[in-house]
Amino acid sequence: MTNFKQTQLLTFLCCFLILLPSLVRGDCTCEPEDEDRNKPLALKYKMAALVSILVAGAIGVCFPLLGKTIKALRPEKNVFFLIKAFAAGVILSTGFIHVLPDATENLTSPCLNENPWGKFPFAGLVAMSAAIATLMVDMFATSHYTKSHFNKAQQSDGGDEEKTGEHENHVHVHTHATHGHAHGSVSMLERSVSSELLRHRVVSQVLELGILVHSVIIGISLGASESPKTIKPLVAALTFHQFFEGMGLGGCISQAKFKSRAVAIMAIFFSLTTPVGIAIGIGISNVYDENSSTALIVEGIFNAASAGILIYMALVDLLAADFMNPKLQNNGILQVGASVCLLLGSGLMSLLAVWA
């Protein structure tokens, strides 16, 4: 009887060990699931997403640019600080809550080899590297543009001094000295304003780069999906996401004071990136496998890099710059308002993760 029980136990263990790998594969399958697929219905949702995201992105990025016609939206007004704080909270939440977790999920997927993807937090490494790279680009670009601009200014000042020297023979010495002092003060003021303007231009361009990277990835993922259950909640979530993110970028572009042509190009690029990504996803949906190792690695790395850029830009170039601004520092009510807007923006954007 004892031998019979031992035989039963051994048989059970053997069966369990044989079935265990199949049970694990059943929980974490890398094969596409066909049960939720409905290509015609999914295509309708994709077209709705394409239109709504395009419109929301265009409205969001253009809203802060209306400062020329709406005085309250000008960069020097208090309302602009509140809008920018809200938008910065949205961008910060996008990096921490939406993009970085997606990157971690992609790069730790059971569909990838355990070695090395399961043994090291590559998403964090890529995000950190991207943030450091953004800092360096920020620093070198600002330094280069500032030096280039000041060299031109010095050449211009040299020409003015020559003209002043020629004029010296006809003007009283005291008058010339006064003129030179005034000219120097104006020149220093102009240089300070120019340096700040160049800084805003670098910030807006780097921020747009970070936004465009993850917008393309989001668009392709949405366009390649054939599951209405997956796409339907993303339509609303990405529409709000694109609108608020556009507000943040539009605020930076407004402060940069680009020429009308450059503003139009940056706004159009932002508005079209996610819809173009959706169109690409629709085009490759028949051959695209979101669970393939190549797709997971590429998406994960790009998402992680984008998260690092967005987190750096939100904290350093948007929030730190505005919250340490003397105008906000000297206004207690504005400080409270900006803090509330920051928390509101990050909180609302975090709630969208429930839908997504």
pLDDT greater at residue 231 or residue 191? 231
| Predicted local distance difference test score (pLDDT) of residue 251 | 85
| Predicted local distance difference test score (pLDDT) of residue 231 | 85
User: Are 49 and 224 in contact, with CB atoms under 8 Å apart?
Assistant: no
User: Are 49 and 304 in contact, with CB atoms under 8 Å apart?
Assistant: no
How high is the mean pLDDT of the chain?
Answer: 78
The whole-angstrom distance between residue 166's C-alpha and the CA centroid of its chain comes to: 53
User: Are 200 and 252 in contact, with CB atoms under 8 Å apart?
Assistant: yes
Domain ranges of the chain: 36-149+195-355
| Predicted local distance difference test score (pLDDT) of residue 14 | 44
pTM of structure: 0.74
Rounded CA separation 28/30 (Å): 7
pLDDT tens readout for residues 262-276: 999 999 999 999 999
Q: Is the pLDDT of residue 49 over 60?
A: yes
Residue type, 163: K
Instruction: Find the mean pLDDT for residues 94-117.
Output: 89
| 31 pLDDT tier (thresholds 50, 70, 90) | low
pLDDT greater at residue 290 or residue 219? 219
List alpha helices for 257-313, DSSP H: 260-283, 293-312
| 94 pLDDT tier (thresholds 50, 70, 90) | confident
Instruction: Find the mean pLDDT for residues 101-108.
Output: 91
Rounded CA separation 301/124 (Å): 10
| 311 pLDDT tier (thresholds 50, 70, 90) | very high
| Predicted local distance difference test score (pLDDT) of residue 32 | 52
| 81 pLDDT tier (thresholds 50, 70, 90) | confident
Residue from 226, 251, 296, 217 nearest 42 by CA: 226
